[in-house]
Homo-oligomer: A and B are copies of this chain.
Amino acid sequence: MSEDAAVEFEARSHPAFLFDLDGTLIDSVYQHVIAWREALQEVGINLSVWKIHRRIGMSGGLFVSALARELETPLDRDTLAALPALHGDAFLRHYDGVRPLPGARELLTTLTELGVPWAIATSGAERYARRGVELLGLPPDTPLITRDQVRYAKPDPDLFLAAAELIGVDIRDSMVVGDSVWDLLAARRARALGIGLLSGGYGREELIYSGAYRVYEDPRDLLAHIDEVGVRRPL
Pick from B38, B48, B201, B206: contact of A49, CB below 8 A: B201
The count of identical subunits is: 2
Kindly list chain B residues whose C-beta atoms are within 8 Å of the C-beta of A31.
34
Q: A102 at the A/B interface (Cβ < 8 Å)?
A: yes
Closest B-chain residue to A23, C-beta based? B50
Q: Tell me the smallest distance from the CB of A40 to a CB of chain B, in Å.
A: 10
Given A30-B33, A97-B34, A97-B41, verify A48-B205 contact (CB < 8 Å): no
When the two chains form the complex, which single residue of B37, B94, B102, B206 contacts A205, counting CB atoms closer than 8 Å?
B206
Q: Can you show 22 pairs from A to B with CB atoms below 8 A apart?
A: A27-B49, A27-B50, A29-B49, A29-B50, A30-B30, A30-B34, A30-B49, A34-B97, A38-B97, A48-B101, A48-B102, A48-B199, A48-B218, A50-B198, A50-B201, A203-B204, A203-B205, A203-B206, A204-B205, A205-B205, A205-B206, A205-B209
